[in-house]
Each structure stands twice: as C-alpha cells, then as structure tokens.
Amino acid sequence: MTDQIDFATEYALAPESTDHIEIKDRYSLFINGEFVKPERGKYFKTSNPAKEEKLSEVAEADSVDVDNAVNAARKAYENTWSKMPPKERGKYIFRIARMLQERSREFAIIESLDGGKPIRESRDVDIPLAAAHFFYYAGWADKLEYAFPGRKAKPLGVAGQIIPWNFPLLMAAWKIAPALACGNTVILKPAETTPLTAMKLAELIQEADLPPGVVNIVTGAGKTGSEIVSHPDINKVAFTGSTVVGKMIQKALAGSSKKYTLELGGKAAHIIFDDAAINQAVEGIINGIFFNQGHVCCAGSRLYIQEGIAEEVISKLKTRMDALIVGDPLDKNTDIGAINSKMQLDKIKDLIQSGEDEGGNIYQSECALPKNGYFYKPTLISNVSQSHRVVQEEIFGPVLAIQTFRTIDEVIEKANNTPYGLSGGVWTDKGAKIFKITQQIRAGIMWANTFNKFDPASPFGGYKESGMGREGGLHGLYPYVELI
C-alpha cells in the first residue's frame, strides 16, 4: 500500500483505530442513576455522517419519561445534592473530570464517529475542553462565597438543559458542570444526531458513583426538548441551538418563574486591517470558518478585508484552502470532516444557491470529496453585499462570505448590521484600533489577532438574536444561583 503513495504530494493515511471503543446497539434513558427503557418503547437511530451508516439506537423520551427524570432530579436535589457539603460536591465533579481525561481517546473517537468532526479536533479541543470545564467548576463548588462576596448563593433547583449537535460533549460539560457546582440537579437532552458521547457520559457518571438523580440524560428530538421546557417542576432552562427554537422557548417561558439562558446563532464579522500580519491573519480566517466544518455558532463567517490588501488576502486564502484535506473524520490528517447531517448539507447547498442567484462569485477548493457521506468543499463567496442572504443568515457550514471596507467606521457599521451579536475578530498591528473595534461592536466575544480561543475561565454568550446570559467563567455561575 505504502509504495503507491507519493510522499512529496500526498499524506499517508493515518486512520484512528476504532478497535478499543464500545458502542452498544441500543441506549436507554439515564434516569435516577439507572438505564431505563422509554415508557412507549420507542427508539431512533443515530448514524455516522461520514459513511451514512447506522451506529446505534437511542430512546425517544416522551412526557412520562421526562416527568420521571424531573421527579428523580427533584428528589436528588431535595434529599442529597443541595444538602451535601459543597466540598463534597466539588469532589464528585473533579472525579468526572479525571475520568473523562482518562478515557479521552474513547470519547474523541465516538464524538467523531457520531458527529463527523475531524479526530484532530475532538481529540485536541472538544474532549480536553470538556474535561477542563469540569475541573474548573469543581474548583468553584466550595468557593461560591468568594464568587459572590457578601452574598449567599442558593441553588435554583432542577435545571433542564438542551444542547445542539456541533459540540456534543463540550456543550454537555458547559451545561452540567456549573449547574452541579452551584448545587442544582439536571436533566440534559443531547441533540438527536449526536447522542452517543452523552450516553457514554451517563455511563461514566454511573461509574463515578454520583448520587442517583443528580444527572439525568434523556434522548429525543424537539418534542422531548419542549416537554422539558414546559415541565412545571423545572426551575431553570439552559438552551444552546438555533435562534428559531430559542425564540420558541422564550415564548413558552414568558410569564413563568423559570430562569433561562439562551445561546443561539451567530454571524461573526472577521475584520482584517491593512496593517495586520497577513499570513497569521490568513491562518486565523481559515481556523475561524473551517474549524468543525463551520458548524460553530461563533464562526467568523463574514470576512471584511481592508480594500488595499483584499487581493493579496484572497489569493493567500485560496492557496491555503486548496491545501485543506477534506475527508474521513477518523484520519488524523483530516482538516474538514463530514457535515453533521443530510438536512444540514441541504441547508448549506440551498444558501449557496441563493448566493449564486443573487450574483455572488463562488470559489471552492479543488479537493476530491469521498463518495459516501455528507461532505462539502471549503467555499468562498465574494461580490456580495450586506443585504445578501449569505451575509445575513447563519449558514453553519464551511462557507465564508467576503466583503471589503475602507474606513474603521464603515467596517464597524457593517459588522453591527446583523440580527446577531455573538462574536467577532479583528487583525491589526494597532492597539488603538483593537480598542475602538472591541468597544463599538455589539458582540459577546471579540478576539484580537487570534480567533476561536476558548477557556473555561472566560465567559461566552451573545447580544441581540444570539441569545442571553453567559456561560463559562465566574459569569457562568450566575444563571444557576439565586443571590440573597
């Protein structure tokens, strides 16, 4: 095999082995510390988007199952978790973090199989960051009096948490870790296309001997999610996903006493000034839009290049894009894996078509795509303006819309001309420009001369239609406590 490879121009295949991982044929619901069959006995499949092959089946929870999970969480809250000395709670969370670290390889492979992301990312980003969130919030559990000096932080009770498919385990960690640290119990619902690492986490939590009912994990689609949101005995809803569903949840919660945080979509402006370090900026742009196939709420999907350097930046971007390897998510060389689902692939194609219809110029890298599975070439769209759909709507794929600008005020106006306000990036040599941009752009997170940097100590969240509330850091404790 190896003698057929031209090492000067090609990489040797480096697939990660799946021999040592275990995926069961079927997963039931994790309620009260045990795996229980769903009341109506319904299951649905989850598949590998890179191969279009079934991986396993998970339960479809209905209202009775959700009710059982809420009751288990309530009992665990009243009898155990809220009464436990905070230091002891911290030890449990720390144990989850340690066990995740020990099994990171298994989690990384399953994450890539179920969701399509490159193993390099699940191995180096998703799983280590998930563990880091548990470590970080384990540290806060017995220090809440320092987080909120002079005030007493009381837990809220039972939290219902609904997460998307783009960072399955990481989103589970973002939700569960701060909730537990503050003394709440939880019901988590993973997304329907990526439930497997959440079910593995359920197994890990069982082994970690967490008191039954403190964490309950129920699978299902939107209907199951809405059962959680509307359950009368939930005290807090934490949601990450589309803006459309976020708005539905907000309406459903209006007038109730339930607290909520919403982490929704984004359409980040990524701004390159003519005094920037161009080669580094090009790397930042590539990382900003092609990381995780562009399935990233904070992706730098609107590029603004200062006019004088536009030609150079676009030419370098094309060269860099042509070198990206699109293919098998389990291959360690792969830069861009599979699109998460057929539905998402269709959505990307539909938006690209609209970009073309509206007069945009499309450039795609020349890479070959695998025959099976859902894949999409890295794509640039230029000759577009603010009113184009590809500039206004979240594409959630490896697609970058490019515009130019002349002055700083012009680019600030363009960057803010969006219903979203989650993140943004700026590349320049001048600190003064960075301060002006970061102060005037309405976005929860701004990166300067870098992009997509995450840390559990740093708060994350949006303005406008990107949602409300912050996750991560000290700020991430607020949504899970009542301060008295």
- Nearer Cβ to ligand NAI (242/449): 242
- Nearer Cβ to ligand NAI (99/446): 446
Length of the chain: 484
Closest separation between CB of residue 301 and Mg ion, Å?
A: 24
Contact footprint for Mg ion (CB under 5 A): 46, 114, 193
Q: Is 413 an active-site residue?
A: no
DSSP code, position 210: P
Span of 98-106, 177-185, 209-217, 239-247 interacting with ligand NAI by CB under 6 A? 239-247
CB contact at 8 A, 225 and 246:
no
Residue type, 2: T
Q: Residue 106 binds which entry of ligand NAI, Mg ion, none, with Cβ cut-offs from 5 to 8 Å by kind?
A: none
Q: Residue 336 binds which entry of ligand NAI, Mg ion, none, with Cβ cut-offs from 5 to 8 Å by kind?
A: none
Q: Give the Cα separation of 11 and 31 in Å (integer).
A: 46
Among candidate residues 106, 227, 297, 465, the one labeled active-site is: 297
Out of 188, 202, 253, 264, which residue is the one contacting ligand NAI (CB under 6 A)? 264
Phi then psi for residue 382, to 5 deg, are: -115, -175
The pair of three-digit structure tokens given for residue 68, joined into one six-digit string: 């059982």
Out of 49, 265, 288, 378, which residue is the one contacting ligand NAI (CB under 6 A)? 265
DSSP code, position 13: P
Work out the burial of residue 67: count CB atoms within 10 Å of its CB; fewer than 13 is exposed, 13-18 middle, 19 or more buried. Answer: middle
Give which of 146, 227, 135 is closest to 187, Cα–Cα. Answer: 227
Work out the burial of residue 418: count CB atoms within 10 Å of its CB; fewer than 13 is exposed, 13-18 middle, 19 or more buried. Answer: buried
Closest separation between CB of residue 333 and Mg ion, Å?
A: 22
Q: Residue 264 binds which entry of Mg ion, ligand NAI, none, with Cβ cut-offs from 5 to 8 Å by kind?
A: ligand NAI
Closest separation between CB of residue 193 and Mg ion, Å?
A: 4
Runs of H (alpha helix) within 77-165: 86-102, 104-115, 119-121, 127-140, 144-147
Handedness of CA 73, 67, 59, 161 (dihedral sign): negative
Closest separation between CB of residue 393 and ligand NAI, Å?
A: 8
Using the rule CB under 6 A, is 379 a contact of ligand NAI? no
What value, to the nearest 5°, has the Cα angle with vertex 112 and ends 20 and 420?
Answer: 155
Out of 112, 161, 240, 365, which residue is the one contacting ligand NAI (CB under 6 A)? 240
CB contact at 8 A, 362 and 380:
yes
Out of 104, 216, 306, 344, which residue is the one contacting ligand NAI (CB under 6 A)? 344
HEC string for 29-89: EEECCEEECCCCCCEEEEEECCCCEEEEEEECCCHHHHHHHHHHHHHHHHHHHCCCCHHHH
The pair of three-digit structure tokens given for residue 40, joined into one six-digit string: 């109506």
Span 390-409, contacts to ligand NAI by CB under 6 A: 394, 396
The pair of three-digit structure tokens given for residue 393, joined into one six-digit string: 């709507």
Out of 58, 176, 201, 245, which residue is the one contacting ligand NAI (CB under 6 A)? 245
Q: Residue 114 binds which entry of ligand NAI, Mg ion, none, with Cβ cut-offs from 5 to 8 Å by kind?
A: Mg ion
- x-or-dash string of contact with ligand NAI, 297-316, rule CB under 6 A: x-------------------
Using the rule CB under 6 A, is 377 a contact of ligand NAI? no
The pair of three-digit structure tokens given for residue 472, joined into one six-digit string: 């991560």
The pair of three-digit structure tokens given for residue 5, joined into one six-digit string: 């490879």
Closest separation between CB of residue 281 and Mg ion, Å?
A: 34
Q: Give the Cα separation of 177 and 152 in Å (integer).
A: 20
Q: Residue 162 binds which entry of ligand NAI, Mg ion, none, with Cβ cut-offs from 5 to 8 Å by kind?
A: ligand NAI
Q: Give the Cα separation of 12 and 10 in Å (integer).
A: 7
Q: Is 263 an active-site residue?
A: yes
Closest separation between CB of residue 260 and ligand NAI, Å?
A: 11
- Nearer Cβ to Mg ion (46/216): 46
Among candidate residues 263, 394, 465, 471, the one labeled active-site is: 263
Question: Nearest-CB residue to ligand NAI?
Answer: 225
Using the rule CB under 6 A, is 242 a contact of ligand NAI? yes
Using the rule CB under 6 A, is 229 a contact of ligand NAI? yes
Closest separation between CB of residue 175 and ligand NAI, Å?
A: 11
What value, to the nearest 5°, has the Cα angle with vertex 324 and ends 322 and 330?
Answer: 150
Span of 147-155, 175-183, 221-229, 432-440 interacting with ligand NAI by CB under 6 A? 221-229
Site residues (vs ligand NAI, CB under 6 A): 162-166, 189, 191-192, 221-222, 225-226, 229, 240-242, 245, 248-249, 264-266, 297, 344, 347, 394, 396
Residues labelled as active-site residues: 263, 297
